[in-house]
Chains A and B, each alone.
Chain A
Amino acid sequence: GAGVSQSPSNKVTEKGKDVELRCDPISGHTALYWYRQSLGQGLEFLIYFQGNSAPDKSGLPSDRFSAERTGGSVSTLTIQRTQQEDSAVYLCASSLGGPRTDTQYFGPGTRLTVL
């Protein structure tokens, strides 16, 4: 079946502009995660959605970052007033249940470059 998809695959933007990154999780997966990965670094947790529960936003680095998940499926990560340090690959993952029980399946990522 279809895996996690993300769009766009690449995004180049100018400093100060807003960007929206999209994630389509695997159908039926209740949990959705956003991470970012800077060049040569590990994954930095950003936010986690589980069903209808309030999202875990503890990883968002600043209030310029926000995410929503509509209808329990598609998610959008929004970065306002982008800065050069926001340049990274943004990865989305989904799992059938929560992280305590289930494997996360990752999308291919969106490479964001802020000029």
Chain B
Amino acid sequence: SQQGEEDPQALSIQEGENATMNCSYKTSINNLQWYRQNSGRGLVHLILIRSNEREKHSGRLRVTLDTSKKSSSLLITASRAADTASYFCATDENMRFGAGTRLTVKP
């Protein structure tokens, strides 16, 4: 099974709203990473959070990690139409990616 499992599978919001995506994993990790994939623009790394960190920020992105629950969340604040993409999480253990969350931000 996939190591990183994202939910929801799809999310549709209005521009300016916040979007929250979740990721669950099964084994112990050293780090967890979030990636974005726009159609036609490839896969881009967003943020890496280490197992000893609980929260990390990068611009409008906020990632949390709860190792006791083996879960992470990605929050995008003040969303923009350009944030429309699929978002994936991956852990360093086995480098498995989940199926992703498809985010649509409507202008």
Q: Which residues of A contact B (CB under 8 A)?
A: 33, 35, 41-45, 48, 58, 91, 93, 98-101, 103-109
Contacts and interface: CB of A to CB of B under 8 A. Distances in A.
Given A100-B31, A101-B31, A107-B42, A42 B48 contact: no
Nearest to B40: A108
B42 A106 contact: yes
Interface of chain B: mostly helix, strand, loop or mixed: strand
Contacts, number: 48
Interface stretch (B13-21, B59-67, B76-84, B93-101): B93-101
Contacts of B98: 42
B45 interface: yes
Nearest to A93: B43
A101 B95 CA distance: 12
Contacts of A106: 35, 42-45
